Amino acid sequence: MSKSVPHESAHLHVTGNATFADDIPQLEGTLFVALFISEKAHANIQSIDFSAVEASTGFVSILTAEDIPGVNDCGPIIHDNPILANEKVSYIGQPVFAVVADSFLNARKAVKKAKVSYEELDAIFDLNEADNNNSYVLPPMVLQKGNAQNKLDQADRKLEGRFKVGGQEHFYLEGQVAYAVPKEDGCLHLWCSTQHPTEMQHLVAKSCLLDANQIVVEMRRMGGGFGGKESQSALFCCIASLAAKKLNRPVKCRLDRDDDMLITGKRHHFNYDYHVGFDKTGKIKSLQLKMLLGAGYSADLSGPVATRALCHADNAYLLDDVDLGAYCCKTNTQSNTAFRGFGGPQGAFATEYIIDNISRSVGVDSLDVRKLNFYGKTENNITPYGQLVEDNVIHELVDELEKSSDYRSRRKEVQAFNQTSTIIKKGLALTPLKFGISFNVVHFNQAGALVHIYTDGSVLVNHGGTEMGQGLNTKVAQVVANELGINPKQVRATATDTSKVANTSATAASTGSDLNGKAAQDAARQIKDRLVTFLSETYSVEKGKISFIDNVVVFGTEKIEFNALIQMAYEARIQLWSDGFYKTPGLHWDKEKLTGSPFYYYAYGASVSEVVIDTLTGEFKILRADLLHDAGNSINPAIDLGQIEGAYIQGMGWLTTEELVWNDEGRLLTHAPSTYKIPAVSDCPAEFNVKLFKNQNVKDSIMRSKAVGEPPLLLGFSVFFAIRDAVASVAEYKINPPLNAPATAEEILSAVDFCRDQASGSVK
């Protein structure tokens, strides 16, 4: 274990030979879908004129809400998410009907010819306006501990304020796609790009009025998901399936990038309103934080996202007296959804921002204020939601990074540089993270797997998780290989398939390898146990004297090649395949009180970023980044380092250039790469030092590793706070720059202007 074996599909990815859903050879007679999307943010549909659509070249059929035999809904939890709008539209981009034609191009041309007349209704876009109007998709959630108001009243020092963080487009390279093929007796086979095959199966069943056993969902890999295909692949799966059922033809629904960005939800944007009490050293005494989440027009996963935000507002800090609120605001925009971190980054960002403010207000380096507020190791370690933090390594992790990054001397260098440089300013920040691992819905924390050993000794593993580039299949194959003492190359992972492993959870919450790795290990272990019993009975050796290493099975003083043993075992009629199952132990959560122990363990990390900004243009560049992250006893260090680097860059993009802009009518203007700026290679730090923190999971996780998919996204925080530090330098670090995220060039420039004006006394 702990070997950097290459990603199982690396050779296919780089040669263009990896099969994605859209690469599956199409059957004769396949038809193609284009969606008509609402042009109004909130309106009743009065009439639709389809005549020009129907006369269009290659037109085959139209699918409307009325064509849905079952339930017109694809909401994952709450049923407020129509597949096709029925009379009313709730955002610009909402699918109203589908046109099916003989090619994508003809479908797209035809759909544009529809004429829809609307009766417009009042729309809400702004979170504060939604809050003032009690416009929520779910009842507000409040998490309280201690007595925040009392402690605030008693505190020596107080601050209050408001700030915001923007949403984020997933920008998976492979867009949403589903290919539905009718099978005998009313059955369907669905190939799609999804993190949640089982949910696709169920939602297709409900909308098509089928039983789950009539639908097979197959998913070999995604070209990225990042949370955007946890629930929101459903709409496209349902539409392809509904059309396939209606026409009894294979139907593919594959979105154009602009439509994908206009239709699907994003990371939730947040508005924050806080009151914090602290002492003169910067120790927090009380925090009141109200978070408004931009849920969009429907609930989708906003409930669990809000819960995770509440459970991460503490980040790595002890908050004994808190009053935290999360309000899922309903607006006439895309329905926001899971995105790497799932509300955790937004919760933790709030407290990091507040600590940044406290530091400047007490005039102490923000690293020292952070350290002062860290959870203790054996005391002062109860979270606001009541979980004991038993595995805290943030102190030693941050100490190590502080040294290896030369934080203190670089702090001095940055300040010295800023003394003499008037236009170009540098900034530095170190931010920590603590991230809870497990689904915050207890019963999702289960997984299944199947392991087959064929008579030539090659092994096939199938599990409930999905591969989205994160290396899950590689890790699961490593686990199985390790268990059987064979080379990982001998183990192949196959497409996720609802007819092989049933009732799977989404591959999400970073739990993919924790859950499916354990399930696959369980399956492999059962086969191994049978082989051990067989050997011990056949050769009268003690079971304890049998070991599987390097493709050889040693028993007593003898040995046999693994492959030869398998052939022998087959002939002796030993079952050479097994299922496996795993459920995470010890989790509990009270949904009403928002208390319990929702996480099996925590992952930790910290990063230092040094940036330079141009105070005349607002541009910035990262000069150097040092990341130190706790992946436990890593199963595959190369893959984990890739996850850590990628997450840092994705977090940096979220907080800097990735700005979502809607116009006054509620139309998303940033709906293509031309207007939405994700990081490029040239935006990566010139000096990029990324290391794994040496640690072992104290919990019995798979190989004592830790989940690594989402937590390092929070490492990107240090870029934002380094920028803010650079901005603050223009006013001698005396003013807290009113910098919202994303810190775009415009945002940086206006914060610089504000600080300069304040410092020179000319308040605008």
Residues that bind ligand MTE (CB under 6 A): 224-227, 340, 468-470, 472, 507-513, 643, 707, 709-710
Give the strand pairing for 157-165 and 270-278: antiparallel
The count of chain residues that interact with ligand MOS, using the rule CB under 6 A, is 10
Residue 509 binds ligand MOS (CB under 6 A) = yes
CA dihedral (174, 709, 298, 268) positive or negative: negative
Beta-strand runs (E) in 208-355: 215-219, 251-254, 270-278, 284-296, 322-330
Tokens of 332: 């006439």
Report in angstroms how near the CB of residue 701 gets to ligand HPA at its nearest.
17
List the one residue from 107, 338, 481, 623 that touches ligand MOS (CB under 6 A): 338
Residue 227 binds ligand MOS (CB under 6 A) = yes
Question: Taking CA 381 as the corner, what is the angle to CA 379 and CA 383, rounded to the nearest 5 degrees?
Answer: 155
List the one residue from 508, 606, 692, 727 that touches ligand MOS (CB under 6 A): 508
Q: Which residues contact 672 (CB under 8 A, 6 or more apart)?
A: 257, 258, 261
Q: Which residue is nearest to ligand MTE (CB)?
A: 512
Distance CA 90, CA 94 (A): 7
Residue 514 binds ligand MOS (CB under 6 A) = no
Residue number, 312 or 371, with CB nearest to ligand HPA? 312
Tokens of 560: 């046999």
Question: CB under 5 to 8 A by kind: which of ligand MOS, ligand HPA, ligand MTE, none does 470 bind?
Answer: ligand MTE
Distance CA 599, CA 512 (A): 15
Distance CA 640, CA 629 (A): 9
Report in angstroms how near the CB of residue 512 gets to ligand MTE at its nearest.
2
Distance CA 519, CA 480 (A): 10
Q: Which residues contact 613 (CB under 8 A, 6 or more apart)?
A: 424, 425, 426, 427, 619, 620, 723, 726, 727, 748, 752
Q: Which residue is nearest to ligand HPA (CB)?
A: 509
Distance CA 248, CA 100 (A): 12
List the one residue from 90, 195, 198, 201 that touches ligand MOS (CB under 6 A): 195
From the list 144-152, 337-345, 371-379, 669-677, the region that binds ligand MOS by CB under 6 A is 337-345
Report in angstroms how near the CB of residue 707 gets to ligand HPA at its nearest.
11
**Where do we find the tokens 């920590």?**
432
Residue number, 654 or 733, with CB nearest to ligand HPA? 654
**Selection from 187, 164, 335, 192 nearest residue 254 by Cα:** 192
Residue 35 binds ligand MOS (CB under 6 A) = no
Residue number, 139 or 544, with CB nearest to ligand HPA? 139
Distance CA 50, CA 316 (A): 57
Amino acid at 580: G
Could you tell me if 519 and 464 are in contact, meaning their C-beta atoms sit under 8 angstroms apart? yes
Secondary element (H or E) of residue 154: helix 148-154
Residue 340 binds ligand MOS (CB under 6 A) = yes
Report in angstroms how near the CB of residue 16 gets to ligand HPA at its nearest.
31
Residue number, 482 or 513, with CB nearest to ligand MTE? 513
Query: What positions carry a catalytic annotation?
Result: 710
Tokens of 376: 């203790």
Distances (CA, A) of 74 to 70, 200, 449: 11, 9, 27
Residue number, 70 or 224, with CB nearest to ligand MTE? 224
Residue 208 binds ligand MOS (CB under 6 A) = no
Residue number, 241 or 507, with CB nearest to ligand HPA? 507
Report in angstroms how near the CB of residue 341 gets to ligand MTE at its nearest.
7
Residue 274 binds ligand MOS (CB under 6 A) = no
Interacting residue ranges for ligand HPA, rule: CB under 6 A: 230, 301, 304, 308, 338, 342, 439-441, 444, 506, 508-509
Amino acid at 9: S
Q: Which residues contact 14 (CB under 8 A, 6 or more apart)?
A: none
Report in angstroms how near the CB of residue 714 gets to ligand MTE at its nearest.
13
From the list 278-286, 332-340, 368-376, 697-705, the region that binds ligand MOS by CB under 6 A is 332-340
List the one residue from 179, 274, 278, 342 that touches ligand MOS (CB under 6 A): 342
Residues forming a β-bridge with 688: 625
Question: CB under 5 to 8 A by kind: which of ligand MTE, ligand MOS, ligand HPA, none does 441 bind?
Answer: ligand HPA
List the one residue from 230, 321, 497, 725 that touches ligand MOS (CB under 6 A): 230
Question: Taking CA 213 as the corner, what is the angle to CA 207 and CA 217, rounded to the nearest 5 degrees?
Answer: 70
Report in angstroms how near the CB of residue 241 gets to ligand MOS at its nearest.
23
From the list 87-95, 336-344, 664-672, 688-696, the region that binds ligand MOS by CB under 6 A is 336-344
Helices then strands, counting H and E runs in the chain, come out as 19, 29
- Give the footprint of ligand MOS on residues 692-751 (CB under 6 A): 710
Residue number, 18 or 441, with CB nearest to ligand HPA? 441
Residue number, 229 or 671, with CB nearest to ligand MOS? 229
Size (the chain), residues: 764
Question: CB under 5 to 8 A by kind: which of ligand MOS, ligand HPA, ligand MTE, none does 690 bind?
Answer: none
**Selection from 321, 329, 289, 334 nearest residue 305 by Cα:** 329
Report in angstroms how near the CB of residue 546 gets to ligand MTE at its nearest.
32
**Where do we find the tokens 């709409």?**
235
Query: Which residues of the shown chain bind ligand MOS in the complex (CB under 6 A)?
Result: 195, 227, 230, 338-340, 342, 508-509, 710
